Structure 1
């Protein structure tokens, strides 16, 4: 069985969704499930160098007051799954295409989950600029990838078109927000769903496989 997760590493609900998915796996282990993190850019028109956080908040939320209200709500939900969001530490909103490229490299090296986890923590807990290639190489090393290999990869354009195509394919399939969980490329649920909803999604996937085999 396959699980594709369309996500962006600057999406707090995607971090929450990852924790809820992990909780679902603890409750009901899914032997043989192949998990793939798929690229979706919340801000596809973000400048390559990213944007100063204050300017971003003004553009997206109409100012810090509205943003703070939303972040307080997210923080409450995050605390329930063990995430201590530190939105105040974020000074820059990055373009995430290089982070998504790094995730693709990590998948080939069997370090995908570790890299996704490190990216979420670097951004939401430490306020790191995960659009910076130097920091991305450091995070890759912390997740078990050779830093020089990561740096060489990030300095190239490798996988850039693949990330863009993956993002586009998600939008063409009707994805408008993340996270979105898709089992066997057929059954999908949007949002940071609780474990019980994810269990139902996995059940649907297994029923579909059994029907196809019968």
Structure 2
């Protein structure tokens, strides 16, 4: 949801903006095959009833729908996401990280697919244009594991403990799925600060590798 709001904000900005996705696991200890529902997990984690957890999650689904996302939390399959992160980092080496990230998120939140399952991840990867055999070999090995852990280490160094988290120019941070306008304002602020302000250029002495141009009086 935060990702979609950022994308909507970028569409409103007349400036070239590069987005880089990073790896972050909310619960690295989670198993690959989890039997309990999202509601049961949240109830246990935050000390609330399953009904309260469902009500809170329903609010998230409503917010998601406002930005065009269709979350199916009732059938969502919880799993360890480390291998899904490895796949996104592999896709990055092929220039398809954005597409792979979007496909995995849609598969998880909307299609209730098991994104910890190798066969599922392979099919998703093929859909975005990755080579089946290459993906299968990567998943069967430890490839890209260090790349994922490096991102996680960077997150710890920045003190990041939750997602979504947006870091702009390694200077400004936005936490949570803020309104689109908050992203627009932040991006405009950074762009304005990065602009070079030239003073008295018209009457100055301009020099380059070919010499200096003396201004006319």
TM-score scaled to structure 1, two decimals? 0.83
Of residues 50, 53, 69, the one that matches 1:64 is 50
Displacement of 1:114: 0.9
Structure 2's unaligned 5+ residue stretches are: 200-217
Is 1:26 aligned to residue 26 of structure 2?
no
1:180 aligned residue (134, 144, 165):
165
Matched pairs, number: 196
SS of the residue 1:189 aligns to: strand
The structure carrying a bigger strand percent of its residues is 1
Structure 2 counterpart SS, 1:182: strand
What displacement does 1:201 show?
2.0
Runs of 4+ in 1 over 4 A off after TM superposition: 211-214
TM-aligned CA deviation for residue 203 of structure 1: 2.4
Q: Of 5, 20, 27, which residue of structure 2 is paired with 1:36?
A: 20
Aligned-residue offset at 1:200 = 2.2
Which structure 1 residue ranges, 5 or more long, are not aligned?
1-15
Pick one of 76, 87, 102 that aligns with 2:62. 76
Q: CA RMSD in A?
A: 2.1
Q: By how many angstroms is 1:53 displaced?
A: 2.9
Q: Would you tell me which structure has more helix in proportion to its own residues?
A: 1
SS at match of 2:174: strand
Match of 2:202 in 1: none
Tell me how far apart the structure 2 counterparts of residues 187 and 212 of structure 1 sit (CA, whole Å): 21
Secondary structure of 2:22 counterpart: strand
The structure 2 residue matched to 1:52, chosen from 35, 46, 55, is 35
Greater relative CO, 1 or 2 (CA 8 Å, sep 6+): 1
SS of 1:166's equivalent in the other structure is helix
How far did 1:170 drift? 0.6
2:122 maps to which residue?
A: 137
Distance 1:133 1:212 in 2: 52
Who wins on radius of gyration, i.e. which is larger? Answer: 2
